[in-house]
Every structure is written in C-alpha cells, then in structure tokens.
Structure 1
Amino acid sequence: MNLARRTMNHPALAAVYERAWRPALFYLASGRTTESDRRDAVSTLRLDGAKKVLDIACGPGNFTHHLSTALTGDGFAIGLDYSEPMLARAVADNTGPRVGYLRGDARVLPFADGTFDAVCCFGALYLIPDPIGATREMLRVLAPGGRIAITTSYRADNPFGDASRVVGGWSGLRVFDTRTFPDLFAAAGLVDIEQDVHRLLQYVSATRPE
C-alpha cells in the first residue's frame, strides 16, 4: 500500500478529514469550497425523488449524507469505502433515514448491473489501484437514464503538468490528462459528457442513454 493510501486509511485522518483536511486541500487544488462542490454534486447528478445513489470512496460520509437529503420517498444513498476508520466515522457522524454505508472494493462492486440512478466518486479515483477498472464498474451499475459524476486529478499538457505527474507518482497519486475520462465515457456510449477544469482538478459528468 503506497503512502497516499496508508494516509487515507489512518484513524487520525478520518477524525479530521472533513473538518479540516479535505476543505483546505481541495480549496488549494481547485479554488472551490466544499459547499460549492456539494451543491454542484446534487445538481450535476440531478437528484430528486426516489432515486438510488452510489457514492464511491465515500470517506466519512459527508457527501453521501448531503446527497441523501435531496431524495424523497424510497430514495436512498449508499456510501462505499475500503477504509474501516473512514466508515466508522461515517456511521458516527453522517447517518440518516436515506443513507447507509458499506465496506467494499471499488474495483469489484457488489451490485447488479444497472442498480443505481446516480453514481459518483469525488476526489478518490487517483488513489484507487485500478482507477479505469473502478470507473468501468461504476458504469456497469449505472441504470439507463442515470448520471455519473467524478472529481479527480488533472494535469495540463505542459511542463507543469508533467511535473505534477512525477510528483504524484512519488506519493502514489495518479494524475490524469484531459481526455482519459471523457473518452472512456464516450466509448461506453454515454452522452451529455461535460468536463470542467479548476486548477488541479477536473469535474466530469455524463448520462447513460435510456
């Protein structure tokens, strides 16, 4: 397990992740606040009603819980993570009537094809050992008409981007180029593909056709 993944699995980080670590780190990387990201997540995933939502690498569950508050009726959100300390924090801090948590491997999701109306992964694909395989699993469990949204690392096609790839590699972080995820979504037949770049992060979303 590389340095980045060991850090994410440490109980001490789970205790401060959403209170200090993530807000500060993501603001530096993107210039965006956690509140803005949460609002945009609900809008991008088009959440309402009785939709079923899967949040991959949910960490301590702050995003998962927020997504669940946009749902009604039989709608629910499941947060999946590999880290036991993160999930323990999620259960302690972010439970609710339409949210639940599950320990699992993003590369082999324990769900049938087309189970979810919305699938997301915010700020974690660069940590997963096989990020492309994990993304294909996200697409597999996405229902027709469903939305997928990810936030992940971004490198520009310039010397600074090359340097970020090298530095990321030292710590175990993958740094993705502009085309990786839009091309993956297009090859899978998705439509309405959108990509926004904010500093060192890219936000990519798409729809599976009916």
Structure 2
Amino acid sequence: MTTIAQRLMGVPVFSQIYEQLWRPVFTRGFSLGGSSTVDYDRALRAYLARTGDRMVLDVACGPGNYSDDASRGLVGDGQYVGIDFSASMLAQAHAANPGERVSYVRGDAHHLPFPDGTFDTVLCLAALYLIPDPLPVLDEMLRVAKPGGEIVVFTSVRASIAALPGAEAVAGVSGLRIFGRRELLEHLEALGAEHVEQTVTGVGQYIHARRPLAG
C-alpha cells in the first residue's frame, strides 16, 4: 500500500514545497520547537563541506538539499552522487542544485547500483523514516562504503512526544516510521559497523558509523 508520504514525493509541485518550506519547518519540529536539530544540522553541513578528495553518496537525496554542502569542498577526483526513487525530486535537484562535481541517479535505496566499497561518505538525511522496509537500506549503505568509510543518518527516534499513545498510529498512516531508541544502532552493530554513535535531538537522531577497515 502506498503511503501519503510516498504519494507526495511523486508530485512535482511538492518537490519545490519540500525544499523551500516543508523541510525547514519539519527539521525544527524534530527539536519540539527548539533549535537543537537545526544547530546540529548546521554543524553537519560545515563538516560535509570540509576540503577533501572524497566520493560522497546521498541516499534518498530528494531535491538535493545537501548537494551544495557535500560537494563544495571536494578536490581531486571527488564527486557527490545523489540517488532518489522520485523522478520529480530528481528533476528539482537538477534544476535547483546542480554543480560541476554533482550528479544525480534515479534508483532504489534497497538495491544501490554501485559496487562494494565505492564511497568515502554515505548519507541518508531526513529520509529513512519514509522508506518502506528501511533496515536493508542500512545494509546497502554499509556495503557501498569504502573500508573505513563513514555512514551518516538523520531520522526519527522514539523519544518524548513520539512515545505518546496514538503517535505511532499517526506516523503509520502518514508513512513516517518512528524508530526505536537503539533499533538502528543495534542493526549497524550487527552488520559489523564500528564507532557507532548516536545524538538525539528531540524526536530526531543523528547516527554516525564507520565500515571496518578490514571489511
């Protein structure tokens, strides 16, 4: 069954609303009206913009909200690749967020069309909670990361208001999944990921992990 969120992602006009209005308001909502998520997001963007010869993959990139930050500091053979299943989101990304080191690919996050060990950084930001059967997406993210490469995820977490009665039902109807406090951490650890770290901001969580050097 297609969720409300999935249907919206396929509507061309929503890709523009998502970039300019929905996502900024939604991001602040993860902090329950505070600024912690916005502050972390600002720090993450600065981190992604650091200088380096890196291959970066942005899974479920939407309209390319992070493409400028993640590609700005790239040097050498460094490239940013955004992948999304929504053609309308990718059309908006091409139009609004192009770049010399930026490319976009339409594809399924459950079956990333890249060889093992391709990317230094693999992102999935504000999207995993909308993807049906999301845990295999983490498997794929870790697979395409280089040994020692990093995984960065921002998504929902069951905390504060997200634990209230009825919140799960509303999330289910809309298509937004609320992850357990350790659900994603334990999945990554079971896959063999190292240095798995979590920062919770309201009902949002940032997760950073690395693929083992030997893996």
Q: TM-score scaled by structure 1?
A: 0.92
1:17 aligns with 2:21: no
1:64 aligns with 2:67: yes
Which residue is 2:191 aligned to? 188
Aligned partner (choices 135, 138, 150) of residue 132 of structure 1: 135
| TM superposition shift of 1:175 | 0.8
Q: After superposition, what is the alpha-carbon deviation per residue over 1:149-186, rounded to whole angstroms, capped at 9, x for unaligned?
A: 10111112898355322220121111101111111111
| TM superposition shift of 1:68 | 0.6
- Higher mean C-alpha deviation, range 172-181 or range 150-159: 150-159
1:37 aligns with 2:61: no
1:112 aligns with 2:115: yes
Secondary structure at 2:128's aligned position in 1? coil
Go from structure 1 to structure 2 and tell me whether the alpha carbon gap of 1:4 and 1:145 turns closer, same or farther (over 3 Å shift): same
- Higher mean C-alpha deviation, range 87-96 or range 163-172: 163-172
Which residue is 1:28 aligned to? 29
Q: After superposition, what is the alpha-carbon deviation per residue over 1:12-68, rounded to whole angstroms, capped at 9, x for unaligned?
A: 11112221110011112224465751531452x695311100000101112022201
Go from structure 1 to structure 2 and tell me whether the alpha carbon gap of 1:164 and 1:41 turns closer, same or farther (over 3 Å shift): farther
**CA contact under 8 A between 1:59 and 1:83: conserved in structure 2?**
yes
Distance in 2, matches of 1:161 and 1:203, equals: 21
Distance in 2, matches of 1:75 and 1:89, equals: 23
Distance in 1, matches of 2:164 and 2:179, equals: 9
Distance in 1, matches of 2:143 and 2:95, equals: 30
List gaps (5 residues or longer) in structure 2. none
**CA contact under 8 A between 1:46 and 1:147: conserved in structure 2?**
no
Go from structure 1 to structure 2 and tell me whether the alpha carbon gap of 1:171 and 1:179 turns closer, same or farther (over 3 Å shift): same
Distance in 1, matches of 2:39 and 2:96, equals: 17
Calculate the aligned-residue CA RMSD, in Å.
2.0
Distance in 2, matches of 1:157 and 1:25, equals: 16
**CA contact under 8 A between 1:168 and 1:175: conserved in structure 2?**
yes
State, as a whole percentage, how many aligned pairs show the same letter.
46
Secondary structure at 1:55's aligned position in 2? strand
Q: Which amino acid aligns with 2:16?
A: A
Distance in 1, matches of 2:197 and 2:76, equals: 29
Q: After superposition, what is the alpha-carbon deviation per residue over 1:97-117, rounded to whole angstroms, capped at 9, x for unaligned?
A: 111100000011100111111
**CA contact under 8 A between 2:148 and 2:211: conserved in structure 1?**
yes
Secondary structure at 2:155's aligned position in 1? strand
Which residue is 1:179 aligned to? 182
Q: TM-score scaled by structure 2?
A: 0.90
Q: Which amino acid aligns with 1:97?
A: E
Which residue is 1:80 aligned to? 83
List gaps (5 residues or longer) in structure 1. none
Q: Which amino acid aligns with 1:3?
A: I
**CA contact under 8 A between 2:53 and 2:74: conserved in structure 1?**
yes
Go from structure 1 to structure 2 and tell me whether the alpha carbon gap of 1:42 and 1:184 turns closer, same or farther (over 3 Å shift): farther
Distance in 1, matches of 2:209 and 2:72, equals: 22
Go from structure 1 to structure 2 and tell me whether the alpha carbon gap of 1:162 and 1:194 turns closer, same or farther (over 3 Å shift): farther
